Amino acid sequence: MSVALASQLREGTKKAHTMAENTGFVSCFLKGVVDKASYRTLVADLWHVYSAMEEEIGRLTAHPVVGPIAFPELNRRESLEQDLAFYFGPDWRARATATPGAQAYVARIRQVAKEAPELLVGHHYTRYIGDLSGGQILKNIAQKAMNLGEHDGLRFYEFDAIPDEKGFKTNYRATLDALPIDQATADRIVAEANQAFHCNMTMFQELEGNLIAAIGKVLFGFLTRRQRSGSTEAVAA
């Protein structure tokens, strides 16, 4: 008996999705406030997360629940490696270390893959469909905020193997709905998708400290320049 997993995932993660968007780092990002150092840390974190996810899913292509959603055209690891080479240089592998939040995220993916592989569907949906849906918007924000070229450090958002995003998402939802699971398993997958959002929020919250520090430096420099110029005008809060 099939269950409407796609709609259950969408409805069941709405609150977590909103909470993730309201974290300081994401909120600032969406407003065009992007610190390059914080952003490259995020790219490094995502590389560790996607490397783990794609490695585990690659091992489970014969699994009746995981295998059907293992669309290779979604894979982000190679794209992230190109971005890391841009931000960190040729020795990026030695420099792109994972933050504690990313390490915990990776550990969760490894644990789920070992103990309850079907729950990887929740992680897969949370990351890949979110990236595909908002990728172009986020790319444009990052490009403008960091004054980047068309592709420089932005390959993560480019799904060259998916020319028809709308059609792909329609097929993806149909694939979710056709998975051989019962309602109890669907409930567990939705719960795990919310856990995936929590893992993402932890990473974002770690980056907030770096972003606040960067904004503080900019504000300090602004105030210092005003003082040196002898300005006594009030600085807007």
Whether the Cβ atoms of residue 158 and residue 151 lie closer than 8 Å to each other: yes
Average pLDDT over residues 92-112: 97
Can you give the residue range of the structural domain that contains 171?
5-228
**pLDDT band for position 218 (50/70/90)?**
very low
- 233 domain residue, yes or no: no
What is the chain's mean pLDDT, rounded?
89
Read off the pTM: 0.87
Report the CATH number at residue 126: 1.20.910.10
The two structure tokens encoding residue 153: 């450090």
- 120 domain residue, yes or no: yes
- Give the tens place of pLDDT for each residue, 114-151: 999 999 999 999 999 989 988 888 899 999 999 998 88
Cβ contacts of 13-16, under 8 Å, gap ≥ 24: 13/126, 13/190, 13/193, 13/194, 13/197, 16/193, 16/194, 16/197, 16/198
Quote the pLDDT of residue 157: 94
Quote the pLDDT of residue 220: 40
- 93 domain residue, yes or no: yes
Q: How many domains does the chain have?
A: 1
- 26 domain residue, yes or no: yes
- Give the tens place of pLDDT for each residue, 31-85: 888 888 999 999 999 999 999 999 999 999 999 999 999 999 999 999 999 999 9
- 235 domain residue, yes or no: no
